[in-house]
Amino acid sequence: MPPPIQQKLAKRFRELNQQPLLLPGIWDTASALLFEKNGYQAIGTSSAALAYSQGFADGQGLTLDNLLPSLAAITAKSQLPLSVDIESGYQDLSQTVQAVLEAGAVGINLEDSLPGKGLIDVAEQCQRIGLVRDLAERFGLPLFINARTDTYLLATDHALEESLCRAAAYQQAGADMIFVPTVSASADIKALVQTSPIPVNLMALPGCNATDWFALGVTRVSLGLGPILAVLGLLDAIAAQCLHQGHWPLMDQYHFGFAKAQMLFS
């Protein structure tokens, strides 16, 4: 059985996903604690951000062995419910799910595509979702399963219809939510929200905002890899400015303060 705190966090995460939820994409303890400090109610790892922070490309470049130490460090410090992006499950889906449950996760994202191979067959993905649900029940935790479909990301023909078909199938298999990255057209979002049997999760995109999406009925908006891309952009600008100008106004502007940084980890 999971520890009482994990059970409590799992219950809390389910409650949060019944209402508009903005979920940050984190990659280490510092990023987790900064979002927690700013009032976020839950945190979720970004597979891309974790991969980049460890020197890998996104798309299952990360491995379970790379992932677990990061999760241990995050759960040791953060008090928030944690959802873990396990991509397509890495080398062994059962082993991955069992490990992240033991690491303290109360939710997961599971993708329905494989790098370079396209979408996984609906029936096969339903089996995989069912396996995850069974493992979580045997572990004794009401794991929140966010079933990601890459229909729009991969520009699939009839992406809306395919997304809705998969939402219905995944719900029957045990998923709690459907995650549809890169969809942004209001008409498609309305159709997803109105027709999907489970709540809809979207990914933050440039030029969009969570307020509008929540007004359309979207339940969760994930910041995903947006935060680390912004951090990389800022760091790139600081690096160039310091080298070529000999001073660092950007670094001064975004200075966090040593004492504040120390307090994050105290």
Domains and CATH numbers, the chain: 4-224 (3.20.20.60), 225-266 (no CATH)
Q: How far is CA 14 from CA 20, 83, 122, 138, in A?
A: 12, 11, 25, 18
- Residue 43 neighbours by CB under 8 Å, 6+ apart: 23, 24, 26, 32, 35, 36, 74, 78, 80, 81, 82, 83
According to DSSP, the residues that pair with 45 across neighbouring strands are 26
Amino acid at 201: N
CA distance 29 to 185: 34
How far, in whole angstroms, is CA 91 from its chain's centroid? 19
Q: Name the DSSP letter for residue 19.
A: S
- Residue 160 neighbours by CB under 8 Å, 6+ apart: 188, 191, 192
Q: What are phi and psi of 25, to 5 degrees?
A: -105, 115
Q: Hey, what are 5's tokens?
A: 């705190």
pTM above 0.85, yes or no: yes
How do the pLDDT tens digits run along the chain, 266 residues long? 899 999 999 999 999 999 999 999 999 999 999 999 999 999 999 999 999 999 999 999 899 999 999 999 999 999 999 999 999 999 999 999 999 999 999 999 999 999 989 999 999 999 999 999 999 999 999 999 999 999 999 999 999 999 999 999 999 999 999 999 999 999 999 999 999 999 999 999 999 999 999 999 999 999 999 999 999 999 999 999 999 999 999 999 999 999 999 999 98
Is residue 197 within 8 A of residue 1, CB to CB? The reply is no
